[in-house]
Amino acid sequence: MIVRQFLFWLRSAPAGERAEATGALARAYLYSDLSDDDLAAAEGAMTMLLDDPSPLVRGALAEVLAGSEYAPASVIYALAADQPEVSATVLERSPLLLDADLVDAVATQGTAAQCAIARRAYVPRSVAAAIAEVGSAEACLELLENPGTDIAPFSIDRIVQRFGHLAAIRELLLAGEGLSAATRQALVAKLSETLASFVVARDWLNEDRARRVVKEACEKATVALAAGTPDDEVRPLIRHLRETGQLTAGLILRALLSGNLTMFEEALADLSGIPLSRVSRLVHDRRSDAFRAVYEKAGLPLSAYPAFREAIATMQEDGFLGDPSGSARLKRRMIERVLTRCANHDPDEIAPLIMLLRRFATEAAREEARMFCDDLVDGLLPEYGTQMIAA
């Protein structure tokens, strides 16, 4: 009887009052001690209200029913497919929606719906994967910020591929824990691409020079990243670099000239298909033909071979192996010795290699100078501080 009067009243009531009454009806359905007939009538009324022309009415219905497991399933499903300001409430809170429903909503609805799903108290891997694959940047950011997200590493990698150029997503990922070395390197590469495009767009550098500068910066960061990576994670990093076309002879030579034997040997092992233990033996074998065999098997350019051979010889002769200065920076003394030894080769054949080694030498010299000045300033600051206080 009450529901009948309510339906009669709805025909002439303004939208605001209809919305308020609809919320009251939905609360009565969930929490009042109604008879079976009244429950059925209330459910029928709410179903009819799905066709109300005002989103205020449907929004009031969604607000009350969204968080309840006792809400009529048919009403919830209809509200979940409504316009964004109505559906978002249900998509974010309803326990009645299956993972398949959420995945379908991610694929077929817009950013508001995707963000609502990404904010759910618990986002399972299948839903997170859908958002990572087709969701907007805003939805992916909401997903990464949600502590209730169960996201697989491959989904994080997909977000990096799609939106790693965006600072908000990049910074959020880098600030987190548990990110693989390969994913961190992918973020570094995305940042490099973004910087190159920015510099070129501003007309600060021509495109070729800008690309070269950021490529070298990316390679420098990659070697530093590898130096701080546990040995068992270096091979996945190498495979990532190879798959993305970044595992170049220049990068491998940089790793060697930085004293990063782990990265160097892992790269040779992955490229050649030879077990790492055998690669390591061949690298340390003082016979010249031993290393050349694995070098050629790895498919590295023959024009760069003299630099690799001389670098290994220098490491063996001068004690750079196990250098306490770390394996993240180029070793200036090693580069200079390699340059001296390569000077005896035909300059026409190794001219690009000599140019690369000279850039390495310049970079190492500048880094060494910066460190020297920092140490010098740190050593003088206490003395200067005392003099300033006395003055």
Three-state SS letters, 111-134: HHHHHHHHCCCCECHHHHHHHHHH
Same domain, yes or no, for 323 and 221? no
Same domain, yes or no, for 226 and 349? no
pLDDT for the residue 363: 87
pLDDT for the residue 80: 96
Beta bridge partners of 123: 149
Mean per-residue pLDDT over the chain, rounded = 87
| Residue 269 in domain | yes
Same domain, yes or no, for 257 and 380? yes
Give tens-digit pLDDT for 153-163. 999 999 999 99
Residue corresponding to tokens 């021509």: 206
Asked if residue 381 has pLDDT above 70, the reply is no
**pLDDT classification of 368: cutoffs 50, 70, 90:** confident
Q: Identify the domain boundary among 210, 242, 274.
A: 242
Q: What is the DSSP letter of 274?
A: -
| Residue 8 in domain | no
Range of the domain at 202: 163-242
Question: What mean pLDDT is predicted for residues 253-277?
Answer: 93
Question: What mean pLDDT is predicted for residues 137-155?
Answer: 95
| Residue 2 in domain | no
| Residue 34 in domain | no
Give tens-digit pLDDT for 183-241. 999 999 998 888 888 888 888 778 888 888 888 889 999 999 999 889 889 999 999 99
Question: What mean pLDDT is predicted for residues 255-274?
Answer: 93
pLDDT for the residue 118: 97
Question: What mean pLDDT is predicted for residues 100-118?
Answer: 96
| Residue 141 in domain | no
pLDDT for the residue 34: 82
pLDDT for the residue 154: 94
> Cβ–Cβ contacts within 10 Å for residue 228, how many?
11
Asked if residue 38 has pLDDT above 90, the reply is no
Q: Which two tokens stand for residue 130?
A: 């859908």
Q: Which two tokens stand for residue 378?
A: 């740190």
| Residue 301 in domain | yes
Indicate the number of domains in the chain: 2
| Residue 132 in domain | no
Picking from 244, 356, 241, 362, the residue whose alpha carbon sits closest to that of residue 304 is: 356
> Cβ–Cβ contacts within 10 Å for residue 374, how many?
10
Same domain, yes or no, for 291 and 346? yes
Distances 357 to 262, 320, 376 between C-alpha atoms, Å? 21, 18, 28
**Which of 65-79, 179-193, 274-288, 344-358 has the lowest average pLDDT?**
344-358
Asked if residue 322 has pLDDT above 50, the reply is no
Question: What mean pLDDT is predicted for residues 351-371?
Answer: 87
Same domain, yes or no, for 366 and 316? yes
Same domain, yes or no, for 224 and 259? no
Q: Which two tokens stand for residue 314?
A: 């220098």
Asked if residue 386 has pLDDT above 70, the reply is no
Q: Identify the domain boundary among 190, 217, 242.
A: 242
Q: How far apart are CA 173 and CA 74, in angstroms?
A: 39
Same domain, yes or no, for 171 and 194? yes
Question: What mean pLDDT is predicted for residues 250-274?
Answer: 93
Question: Which secondary structure element, helix H or strand E, spans residue 69, and what is its range?
Answer: none
| Residue 170 in domain | yes
Q: How far apart are CA 130 and CA 204, in angstroms?
A: 39
Question: What angle is formed at CA 164 by the lines to CA 159 and CA 166, rounded to 5 degrees?
Answer: 120
pLDDT for the residue 11: 66
Same domain, yes or no, for 280 and 374? yes
Q: Identify the domain boundary among 196, 227, 242.
A: 242
Same domain, yes or no, for 253 and 323? yes
Same domain, yes or no, for 210 and 347? no
Same domain, yes or no, for 232 and 269? no
Q: How far apart are CA 265 and CA 278, in angstroms?
A: 10
Same domain, yes or no, for 360 and 291? yes
pLDDT for the residue 164: 92
CA atoms within 13 Å, Cβ hemisphere of 275: 3
pLDDT for the residue 382: 56
Asked if residue 3 has pLDDT above 70, the reply is no
The proportion of the chain whose per-residue pLDDT surpasses 70, expressed as a percent, equals: 90
